[in-house]
């Protein structure tokens, strides 16, 4: 059965005498009193500690006593301390009542005093905050790079970078080209784009997309050693054709070392290093140069061969390979400039091109 106790019971001579009794039954009571005093609240914690000091000394260190006077004195002192603390609890020095003690200590918004939890959190914040700020700065920088166009400036010699790219293109066993036009005129026959694989010395197989007025068309082409075959719309086979009649240059010259892209890489003037650019998630170095229109006309049809063409080369800083060429100039009549972007990918993949069957 669970017993209840009061402070008067605790202070009674009978109870204090039982506190010093060593019988098992009394030992159980001593433990019950300690548990009761602890559950009573923080104010009685000192009392429970006094009970432990008086009631549970080591057997070999306890002096023989027959009187309970020492325990009475200790408990009386403890009761006086509890009474004084209770009388002043909840009162501030100016006499006003402090916030309720039931509110969690150190919690903002409850008006409670800052407890040890707040001190621990301040210590942790001082230790963790600098590292967190550094990590956040790095994360923001990485996100900025992902969303931007690169922004940095390559450190290498731009002329040397172009020469290296030209050598790698001439040494490649195959390259995939993708062509896209911008700001093209609405009338006449224009090359809208194209794609295919080129194999040295001057072979190409793929398709060319053109637009004649308002009518678009896709032409399958094969170029081998200066000869061009095309499968025109509404036909079932390839016929040998003249590239100029179709309104575009021979795509086989794209990889030709004497007339193709590699020659354009090393034939420019006013060579300068540009900002880095991001293409399909990869960051490339950019080099700018000015090309003679006559050389560009060997690869792409140009209306004014005497004009200059602005070139921007995107180079892979790790491999040195050319990944993109952007050419802007007067490719068609009308006084405006157009832009063609040539992308190069899949270097040295197995490829073999032969003349189609007639």
Query: Could you tell me if residue 123 is inside a domain?
Result: no
Q: Give, to the nearest 10 degrees, the angle between helix 45-55 and helix 24-39.
A: 160
Q: What percent of the chain has pLDDT over 70?
A: 56
Question: Of 88, 103, 127, which residue constitutes the final position of a domain?
Answer: 88
**Statement to judge: residues 78 and 218 lie in one domain:** no
**Statement to judge: residues 315 and 192 lie in one domain:** yes
> Which tokens sit at 308?
């200059």
User: In the predicted model, what is the mean pLDDT of residues 319-347?
Assistant: 95
**Statement to judge: residues 76 and 199 lie in one domain:** no
Query: Could you tell me if residue 124 is inside a domain?
Result: no
- Give the residue with greater pLDDT, 62 vs 341: 341
User: In the predicted model, what is the mean pLDDT of residues 90-118?
Assistant: 47
Least reliable range by pLDDT among 67-81, 206-220, 340-354? 67-81
Question: Of 88, 121, 140, which residue constitutes the final position of a domain?
Answer: 88
CATH number of the domain that residue 189 is part of: 2.50.20.20
Query: Could you tell me if residue 356 is inside a domain?
Result: no
Strand partners, 194: 179, 208
Confidence bin at 12 (pLDDT 50/70/90): very low
Tens digits of residue pLDDT in 243-301: 887 778 899 999 999 999 999 999 999 999 999 999 888 999 999 999 999 999 988 98
Cβ neighbours of residue 17 closer than 8 Å, sequence gap 6 or more = 68
Q: 174 and 344 in contact (C-beta within 8 Å)?
A: no
73 has a pLDDT exceeding 70 = no
User: In the predicted model, what is the mean pLDDT of residues 60-89?
Assistant: 52
Q: 31 and 39 in contact (C-beta within 8 Å)?
A: no
Query: Could you tell me if residue 25 is inside a domain?
Result: yes
**Statement to judge: residues 202 and 314 lie in one domain:** yes
Query: Could you tell me if residue 104 is inside a domain?
Result: no
SS3 270: strand
The DSSP call for residue 156 is S
**Statement to judge: residues 227 and 305 lie in one domain:** yes
Q: 259 and 299 in contact (C-beta within 8 Å)?
A: yes
Strand partners, 190: 211
Question: Of 35, 70, 88, which residue constitutes the final position of a domain?
Answer: 88
Alpha carbons within 13 angstroms on the beta-carbon side of residue 301 total 20
Cβ neighbours of residue 342 closer than 8 Å, sequence gap 6 or more = 177, 178, 179, 254, 261, 324, 325, 326, 327
> Which tokens sit at 123?
């210590």
Place of tokens 């070999």: 60
Residue ranges of the alpha helices (H) in 102-157? Answer: 116-147
Alpha carbons within 13 angstroms on the beta-carbon side of residue 352 total 0
Tens digits of residue pLDDT in 15-28: 444 444 444 444 34
Query: Could you tell me if residue 341 is inside a domain?
Result: yes
Query: Could you tell me if residue 253 is inside a domain?
Result: yes
**Statement to judge: residues 202 and 75 lie in one domain:** no
Q: Give, to the nearest 10 degrees, the angle between helix 45-55 and helix 69-88.
A: 170
Q: What is the pTM of this model?
A: 0.59
Question: Domains in the chain: how many in total?
Answer: 2
> Which tokens sit at 222?
């094969």
Confidence bin at 74 (pLDDT 50/70/90): low
**Statement to judge: residues 215 and 331 lie in one domain:** yes
> Which tokens sit at 3?
């017993």
The DSSP call for residue 97 is B
What's the chain's average pLDDT? Answer: 73
Tens digits of residue pLDDT in 207-241: 999 998 889 999 999 999 889 999 988 888 999 99
**Statement to judge: residues 79 and 218 lie in one domain:** no
**Statement to judge: residues 165 and 72 lie in one domain:** no
User: In the predicted model, what is the mean pLDDT of residues 71-93?
Assistant: 53
* pLDDT, position 206: 97
Structural domain containing residue 299: 158-345
* pLDDT, position 154: 59
Q: 264 and 139 in contact (C-beta within 8 Å)?
A: no
**Statement to judge: residues 237 and 315 lie in one domain:** yes
* pLDDT, position 245: 79
CA distance 14 to 182: 106
**Statement to judge: residues 188 and 323 lie in one domain:** yes
Query: Could you tell me if residue 150 is inside a domain?
Result: no
């Amino acid at each position: 059965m669970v017993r209840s106790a009061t402070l008067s019971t605790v202070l009674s001579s009978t109870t204090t005498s039982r506190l010093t009794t060593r019988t098992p039954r009394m030992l159980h009571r001593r433990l019950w009193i300690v548990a009761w005093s602890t559950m009573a609240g923080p104010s009685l914690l000192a009392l429970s500690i006094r009970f432990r000091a008086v009631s549970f000394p080591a057997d070999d260190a306890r002096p023989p006593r027959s009187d309970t006077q020492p325990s009475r004195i200790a408990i009386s002192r403890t009761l006086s301390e509890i009474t004084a603390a209770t009388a002043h609890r909840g009162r501030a020095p100016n006499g006003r009542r402090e916030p309720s003690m039931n509110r969690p200590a150190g919690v903002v918004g409850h008006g409670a005093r800052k407890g040890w939890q707040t001190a621990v959190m301040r210590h942790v914040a001082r230790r963790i905050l600098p590292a967190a700020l550094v990590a956040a700065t790095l994360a923001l920088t990485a996100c900025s790079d992902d969303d931007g166009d690169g922004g940095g400036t390559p450190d290498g010699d731009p002329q040397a970078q172009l020469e290296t790219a030209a050598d790698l293109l001439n040494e490649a066993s195959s390259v995939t080209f993708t062509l896209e036009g911008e700001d093209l005129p609405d009338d006449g026959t224009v090359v809208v784009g194209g794609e295919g694989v080129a194999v040295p010395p001057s072979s190409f197989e793929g398709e060319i997309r053109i637009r004649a007025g308002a009518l678009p068309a896709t032409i399958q082409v094969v170029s081998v050693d200066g000869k061009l075959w095309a499968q025109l719309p509404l036909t079932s086979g390839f016929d040998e054709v003249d590239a100029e009649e179709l309104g575009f240059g021979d795509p086989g010259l794209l990889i030709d070392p004497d007339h193709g892209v590699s020659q354009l890489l090393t034939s420019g003037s006013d060579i300068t290093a540009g900002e880095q650019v991001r293409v399909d998630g990869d960051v490339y170095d950019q080099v700018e140069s000015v090309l003679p229109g006559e050389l560009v006309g060997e690869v792409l049809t140009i209306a004014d061969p005497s004009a200059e063409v602005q070139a921007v080369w995107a180079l892979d800083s790790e491999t040195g390979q050319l990944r993109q060429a952007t050419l802007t100039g007067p490719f068609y009549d009308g006084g405006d400039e157009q832009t063609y972007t040539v992308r190069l990918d899949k270097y040295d993949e197995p490829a073999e091109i032969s003349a189609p069957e007639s």
